[in-house]
């Protein structure tokens, strides 16, 4: 088999058309392992976006969302750090398990849905990207995002439900991407979360990065906690385990921290309170969009399943409020934009909304690391 990724003269090797299909991934695993992303030609994001838009030309245009400025007279001489959090919906689960009764199967076709996901990422140009439910890491996200300048890390679930789906593309998991031109990797930890001293099926990635412009260290973490009602105590235990790991990594909050994740927990749950009251002094960035700065958004996921309509706030970006400022946050989709059939749809590729925040370091010199 020919495994060449081509060169820049071949229109990105028409990379979107030729990223491997679900059925092909096992056959091409040797090829995937041989590919060294550092040897591949860089991609111009504008060219990739143009390719995505060609594939999507029969779909409705993407929704427009605006950033809300949250800066409070905090002068900074440095570019903000843009962080994007998103459960992108595993392809195997979307097609095979999740039963989105109002979403046509045609809207879930991977060849087009991956372009909607990429379009969303390219539109916001995050410096750091935290994803959950990634089951096309090796054939789509790593080859493409590495060529856009990101360093890529993937940690799959040990027993991914994707593997129960016929013609799956391997396990889903968490993925973390950061722009190498902005940050240097200092340390990285793949964490398999425990609950009641037992290893669980949920994972996290935590990386300590050094910002080239400021010289500051900070830790970025991504996670996806256990889903479904009835598992509240389990999620609480997983949250405690993650917090303990992060306390060790950040030397007890000496290193600023950002935690992105689908916590599968409403703000009323114990795991949310654990993060709010942690000694790491964390705040939830999206609370700042509320009038009093104390309330989470009304929803971050909205779908219709056979059991009925599911509208919940489950996704968060937590940050060290003593060391970091939230300059702005991306507004959510309105109910009118989402539409009566909810998510996913021909307009939007996931049942979860992406969250995007711009952070700057607190200029307090006592907090410099």
Determine which of 24-28, 61-65, 132-136, 227-231 has the lowest per-residue pLDDT on average. Answer: 24-28
pLDDT of residue 24: 40
pLDDT of residue 131: 98
Tokens of 244: 């303990």
Query: Residue range 198-210: average pLDDT?
Result: 98
pLDDT of residue 71: 80
Q: Using DSSP bridges, classify how beta strands 183-195 and 173-179 pair: parallel, antiparallel or unpaired.
A: unpaired
Q: Between 110-124 and 45-55, two packed helices, what is the crossing angle to 10 degrees?
A: 140
* Rounded Cα distance, 323 and 142, in Å: 31
Q: Using DSSP bridges, classify how beta strands 257-262 and 217-224 pair: parallel, antiparallel or unpaired.
A: parallel
pLDDT exceeds 50 at position 3:
no
Higher pLDDT, 10 or 76: 76
What DSSP assignment string belongs to 75-109?
Answer: --SSPPEEEEEEE---HHHHHHTS--TTS-GGGG-
pLDDT of residue 279: 97
Q: In percent, how much of the chain has pLDDT > 70?
A: 87
Torsion of CA 327, 342, 177, 125, to 10 degrees: -50
Whole-Å CA distances, 243 to 203, 208, 251, 264: 13, 15, 12, 16
pLDDT of residue 180: 98
* Rounded Cα distance, 204 and 84, in Å: 16
Higher pLDDT, 361 or 18: 361
* Rounded Cα distance, 76 and 125, in Å: 20
Q: Determine which helix (DSSP H) or strand (DSSP E) holds 33, and give its type and residue range.
A: helix 29-34
Q: Determine which helix (DSSP H) or strand (DSSP E) holds 122, and give its type and residue range.
A: helix 110-124
Burial class for 330, CB neighbours closer than 10 Å (0-12, 13-18, 19+): buried
3-state secondary structure of 176: strand
Q: Which of 343, 345, 347 is nearest to 314 (CA)?
A: 343
pLDDT grade, residue 75 (50/70/90)?
low
pLDDT grade, residue 74 (50/70/90)?
low
pLDDT of residue 99: 83
Predicted confidence (pLDDT) per residue in 257-289, tens digit: 999 999 999 999 999 999 999 999 999 999 999
pLDDT of residue 288: 97
pLDDT of residue 16: 59
What DSSP assignment string belongs to 176-212?
Answer: EEEETTTEEEEEEEEEEEEETTEEEEEEEEEEEEEET
Whole-Å CA distances, 16 to 70, 177, 309, 339: 36, 19, 33, 28
pLDDT of residue 364: 66
pLDDT exceeds 70 at position 366:
no
Tokens of 74: 């905090």
At the topology level, CATH places domain 92-364 in Deoxyribonuclease I; Chain A (3.60.10)
Predicted confidence (pLDDT) per residue in 153-186, tens digit: 999 999 999 999 999 999 999 999 999 999 999 9
What is the residue extent of each domain of the chain?
92-364
* Rounded Cα distance, 65 and 337, in Å: 10
HSE on the CB side for 76, CA within 13 Å? Answer: 20
Whole-Å CA distances, 91 to 96, 110, 250, 343: 8, 7, 34, 14
Mean pLDDT, all residues of the chain: 89
CB 354 within 8 A of CB 330: yes
Q: How far is CA 2 from the centre of its chain?
A: 32
pLDDT grade, residue 72 (50/70/90)?
confident
Predicted confidence (pLDDT) per residue in 331-348, tens digit: 999 999 999 999 999 999
Query: Residue range 101-114: average pLDDT?
Result: 94
pLDDT exceeds 70 at position 253:
yes
């Amino acid at each position: 088999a020919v495994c060449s990724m081509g060169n820049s003269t071949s229109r990105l090797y028409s990379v979107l058309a030729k990223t491997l299909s679900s059925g092909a991934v096992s056959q091409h695993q040797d090829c995937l392992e041989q590919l060294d992303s550092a040897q591949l030609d860089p991609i111009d994001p504008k060219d990739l976006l143009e390719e995505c838009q060609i594939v999507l030309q029969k779909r409705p245009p993407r929704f427009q969302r605006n950033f809300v400025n949250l800066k409070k007279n905090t002068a900074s001489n440095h570019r903000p750090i843009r962080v994007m959090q998103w459960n992108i919906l595993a392809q195997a689960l979307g097609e095979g398990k999740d039963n989105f009764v109002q979403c046509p199967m045609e809207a879930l076709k991977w060849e087009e849905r991956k372009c909607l996901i990429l379009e969303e990422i390219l539109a916001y140009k995050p410096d750091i990207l935290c994803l959950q439910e990634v089951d096309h890491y090796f054939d789509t996200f790593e080859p493409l995002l590495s060529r856009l300048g990101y360093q890529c890390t993937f940690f799959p679930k040990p027993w991914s439900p994707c593997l129960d789906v016929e013609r799956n593309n391997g396990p889903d998991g968490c993925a973390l991407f950061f722009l190498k031109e902005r940050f240097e990797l200092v340390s990285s930890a793949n964490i398999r979360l425990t609950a009641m001293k037992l290893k669980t099926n949920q994972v996290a990635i935590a990386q300590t990065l050094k910002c080239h412009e400021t010289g500051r260290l900070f830790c970025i973490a991504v996670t996806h906690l256990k889903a479904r009602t009835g598992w509240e105590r389990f999620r609480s235990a997983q949250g405690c385990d993650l917090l303990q790991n992060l306390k060790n990594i950040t030397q007890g909050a000496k290193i600023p921290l950002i935690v992105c994740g689908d916590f599968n927990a409403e703000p009323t749950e114990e795991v949310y309170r654990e993060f709010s009251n942690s000694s790491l002094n964390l705040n939830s960035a999206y609370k700042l969009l509320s009038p009093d700065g104390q309330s989470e958004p009304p929803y971050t996921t909205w779908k219709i399943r056979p059991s009925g309509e599911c509208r919940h706030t489950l996704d968060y970006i937590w940050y060290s409020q003593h060391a970091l400022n939230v300059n702005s946050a991306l507004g959510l989709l309105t109910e009118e934009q989402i539409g009566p059939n909810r998510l996913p749809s021909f307009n939007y590729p996931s049942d979860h909304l992406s969250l995007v925040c711009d952070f700057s370091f607190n200029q307090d010199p006592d907090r410099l690391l």
